[in-house]
Structure 1
Amino acid sequence: MSVVFKRAESLTPTEFTYCPGCAHGIATNCVAKAIDDLGIKDQTIHVSCIGCGGLTPMFFDTDTILPMHGRAPATATGIKRIHPDKIVWTYQGDGDLASIGTAEIVQAAHRGEKITTIFINNTTYGMTGGQMAPTTLVGQKTTTSPYGRDENHCGMPIRMSELLATIEGSKFIARVATDTPAHIRQAQKMIKRAFECQMKGLGFAMVEVLSTCPTNWGKTPAEAMKWQTENMIPYFPLGVYKDFE
Structure 2
Amino acid sequence: MQQILHRLSSQDLSFPPINQALTEPSGLLAVGGDLSPQRIVNAYSQGIFPWFSEGDPILWWSPDPRAILPLKELRINRSLRKFLKKSPYQVTLNQAFDEVIEYCSDAPFRNEETWIVPSMMWAYQQLHRQGIAHSVEVWHDSQLVGGLYGIAIGGFFSGESMFYTAENASKVALIALQRHLMKQNIGFIDCQIQNPFLQSMGSREILREDFSKLLKHAIQCDISDDCWLPKTLKLEN
Superposed pair shares fold, TM > 0.5: no
Larger relative helix fraction? 1
Larger relative strand fraction? 2
Question: TM-score, normalization: structure 2?
Answer: 0.31
Larger RCO, structures 1/2 (Cα 8 Å, 6+ apart): 2
Question: TM-score, normalization: structure 1?
Answer: 0.31
